[in-house]
Amino acid sequence: MDEKTIIHIALSVLVVLLVIVNGVKYGVVGLIIVVFGFVSLGLILLIAFADFLIFPAFTKLLNIVIVPSKGYIIPKSQDAIIKYSNGIYYATGYLTANIYNYIFAQEQVQEEDMALAAAPDKWEKAIMNIHFPFKFNIVAVAEEVQHYREELEAKRGLLEFQYSKETQGSNPNPMGLETIQRQINVIQARIDRIGEGERPVNSIMYIESTAVGVSQKEAMDRLTNQLNELSTVFNIFDLSIARIMGREMYLVHNFNYRVPSIGELSSEFDQQK
Amino acid sequence: MPSSNQEMVIFIVIAAVGFVFATLTGLPPASLSPVALLLAIIALIAAVLAFATRYYYYLYAPVLRSKSGSVVLDPDDAFYMSQNGNAILVRKDNLIYATSFIKVPVYSSSTEMNDEQKFNFSNVFSRMVSISKTPIKVTSQLYSINKDDYIARVTSRLNEAEARYNAIQLDKNASKPQLDRIKGEVTMWHNLLDSVSKANSQALDVYAAVTVFGGTEEEAMNMISLKADEVAAGISATVGVSASVVTGADMLVLVEPEYMIPPTTISELMRYSQNQQTQNMM
């Protein structure tokens, strides 16, 4: 959660708490105020952590259709962007898909290499099974190399210190030593890759597909089928796939026309690392 | 006004309203508790709306303006093409954003690679997405090939052959082998037209997109030309292919759904979708 969101939460919650504190003295009415206060707190937290649930519910309830630009509509279900052109409805939907794993977790370097070697085969197998238009998008921004390298070197220094401390102890634990050594190897591999010219990146990955139909409902039904099929096909990469809805769908739709700035990326999304 | 300032102004105004009404909630005497309830409800609504500005500030003004259930965020087209045809332009917050697309022609297949080559290919791709200091969008797009021109050519040849066949049928001097040959030609064009219309013809393209902004169109267009050339050169050097900036109508295939799925292929997609649904039901 970024600074801006924390400020928004803090001030909004402060208003709610002020209402609760001022309201408790009114007896039964005070009790109602307190209940409303807690409902408001719940709403604020839901918007903060699960607005993809709240916003479509809100647009469905009020029957709101959003027109993001001329010729396009976002229906009240907030799960697709529809374009009507030449008597045909084009429904476009999005899925999250974090494949690109540059900043690897605590895994062995050997496994990382194997995963990289297997990726082209997996990709081609996936593509061969898809018979409708789709896009796999990676929005990436390279991090500041020097700063990232210094961070890694500091981490490596700390681990090397822990390793030497462990070996100098009276009863060194072989399992612990192995774990520390593996962590050092992982960090060293990252430093080496940076030395070879590779830059660490922050990225957002998503899949986009478009379906057609002679009615809006038909196009949206077909889109749901296509997205389900894409989820199945891309499972080969062992991904966590979810349908993008509401606000984030509108944002990624705009990425077609304008690649976002670093500020927008960091403030609107929890970036995938 | 830049969007982040706009967001903060809306947030501060609504939060201030919330604070005022929250403070007023404690002022009425116990006998006027319904008034306190009303003030509290206004303060709580303001608190929720104030927080919602964090993600939805851009909706507030359009919602207030909307008369029916339709909230119009932008009455204009999503983008327009630059004069030189090298970029698409978007006007937002008094700035012009220019986006260019750089095609990455990758024709190698994993079936032709050994394990080391596959590993190197993945590494090269990893480097490609990190060549720019500013955000870059790399897309692999599977789309339907526009076969309109080809189908028109085949149909014209078919009509031509059918006309000749009809003419030769009326000619009493025509030999049987001559008649059979033209009949065979008509059948060939018929079969070709059938197979072209029914086949699902798709293409896979990889491209990168970059955006810059400027105060005027000229500024944005000049800057995006430099940026696109820089990224194309970076990709060419990293991947070892000849990356080039996409121009003119070719850009529409990358951004507009009706160009990604041209009219001739819609029936193919619908047929495929119906087959899939039938299979799922079985």
pLDDT tens-place string over residues B159-190: 999 998 888 888 878 788 888 888 888 998 88
Distance from the A169 Cα atom to the nearest Cα atom in chain B, whole angstroms: 41
Q: Chain B neighbours among A 233-252 (CB < 8 Å)?
A: 247
Helix (H, G, I), strand (E, B) or coil at B133: coil
Say what the pLDDT of residue A76 is: 92
Nearest-by-Cβ selection for A69 from B15, B76, B99:
B76
Phi and psi dihedrals of B245, rounded to 5? Answer: -75, 130
How much of chain B exceeds pLDDT 70, in percent?
Answer: 89
Say what the pLDDT of residue A108 is: 46
CB-CB neighbors (< 8 A) of A68 in chain B: 73-74, 78
H or E stretch including A50?
helix A27-61
What gap in Å lies between CA A262 and CA A272, rounded to an integer?
A: 14
What gap in Å lies between CA B211 and CA B231, rounded to an integer?
A: 11
CB-CB neighbors (< 8 A) of B34 in chain A: 29
Helix (H, G, I), strand (E, B) or coil at A54: helix
Rg of chain B over Cα atoms, rounded to whole angstroms, equals: 31
The residue with tokens 């303006």 is B65
Say what the pLDDT of residue B42 is: 95
Report the predicted TM-score, pTM, of the whole model to 2 decimal places. 0.78
Q: Is A68 on the interface with B (CB under 8 A)?
A: yes
DSSP state of A99: -
Distance from the A243 Cα atom to the nearest Cα atom in chain B, whole angstroms: 18
Q: Which residue of A has its CA nearest to B62?
A: A66
Say what the pLDDT of residue B258 is: 87
List b or e across B183-222, with b for residues whose CB sees 16 or more CB atoms inside 10 angstroms.
Answer: eebbeebeeebeeeeeeeebeebbbbbbbbbbeebeebbe
Nearest to A255 by CA among A170, A136, A101: A136
Which pair of structure tokens corresponds to residue B170?
A: 């009326």
Burial class (CB in 10 A: 0-12, 13-18, 19+), B179: middle
Say what the pLDDT of residue B148 is: 73
Q: Which of A143, A249, A257, A270 to mutate to test the interface with B (most CBs of B within 10 A)?
A: A257
What gap in Å lies between CA B139 and CA A93, rounded to an integer?
A: 16
pLDDT in tens, B143-152: 877 777 777 8
Say what the pLDDT of residue B280 is: 63
Residues in chain A where the model's pLDDT stays below 70: 1, 99-116, 198, 266-273
pLDDT in tens, B218-230: 999 999 999 999 9
Say what the pLDDT of residue A95 is: 92
Least trusted range by pLDDT, from A166-175, A220-229, B45-54, B103-112? B103-112
Q: How many CB atoms lie under 10 A from the CB of residue B87?
A: 30
Is-contact A142 A193, C-beta < 8 A? no
Q: How confident is the model at residue B65 (pLDDT cuts 50, 70, 90)?
A: confident
Say what the pLDDT of residue A271 is: 43
- Across chain B, the runs of DSSP E, i.e. the strands, are 70-72, 80-81, 88-92, 95-103, 136-144, 202-214, 244-245
Say what the pLDDT of residue A94 is: 94
3-state secondary structure A136-175: EEEEEEECCHHHHHHHHHHHHHHHHHHHHHHHHCCCCCHH
Q: Is A138 on the interface with B (CB under 8 A)?
A: yes
Distance from the B190 Cα atom to the nearest Cα atom in chain A, whole angstroms: 25
pLDDT in tens, B184-239: 889 988 888 887 776 667 778 889 999 999 999 999 999 999 999 999 998 888 88
Q: Which residue of B has its CA nearest to A13?
A: B47
Q: What is the dihedral of CA A157, A158, A164, A165, to 10 degrees?
A: 160
Say what the pLDDT of residue A202 is: 75
CB-CB neighbors (< 8 A) of B88 in chain A: 257
Say what the pLDDT of residue B96 is: 93
Q: How many CB atoms lie under 10 A from the CB of residue A25?
A: 14
Say what the pLDDT of residue B273 is: 64
What gap in Å lies between CA A200 and CA A101, rounded to an integer?
A: 10
Q: Is A200 on the interface with B (CB under 8 A)?
A: yes
Nearest-by-Cβ selection for A142 from B118, B132, B137:
B132
Nearest-by-Cβ selection for A16 from B47, B116, B200:
B47
DSSP per-residue codes, B13-71 = HHHHHHHHHHHHHTSS-GGGHHHHHHHHHHHHHHHHHHHHHHHHHHHHHHHHH-SSSEE
Which pair of structure tokens corresponds to residue B69?
A: 């259930």
What gap in Å lies between CA A174 and CA A180, rounded to an integer?
A: 10
Q: Chain B neighbours among A 8-67 (CB < 8 Å)?
A: 8-9, 11-16, 18-19, 21-23, 25-27, 29-30, 32-33, 36-37, 39-40, 43-44, 47-48, 51, 55, 62-67
B268 or B227, which is more confident: B227
Work out the average pLDDT over B90-116. 83
Q: Which amino acid is at A76?
A: K
Nearest-by-Cβ selection for A29 from B22, B34, B254:
B34
CB contact under 8 A, B257 and A203: no
Q: How many CB pairs under 8 A join A and B?
A: 286
Q: Chain A neighbours among B 22-61 (CB < 8 Å)?
A: 22-23, 25-26, 30, 33-34, 36-37, 40-41, 43-44, 46-48, 50-56, 59
Which pair of structure tokens corresponds to residue B272?
A: 């495929």
pLDDT in tens, A33-75: 999 999 999 999 998 888 888 889 989 998 889 999 998 999 9
Contacts of A97 (CB under 8 A, 6+ apart): A136, A205, A206, A207, A234, A237, A239, A241
Q: How confident is the model at residue B1 (pLDDT cuts 50, 70, 90)?
A: very low
Say what the pLDDT of residue B202 is: 75
Say what the pLDDT of residue A106 is: 40
Q: Which residue of A has its CA nearest to B76?
A: A70
Work out the average pLDDT over B67-83. 88
Nearest to B45 by CA among A50, A44, A21: A44
Q: Is B80 on the interface with A (CB under 8 A)?
A: no
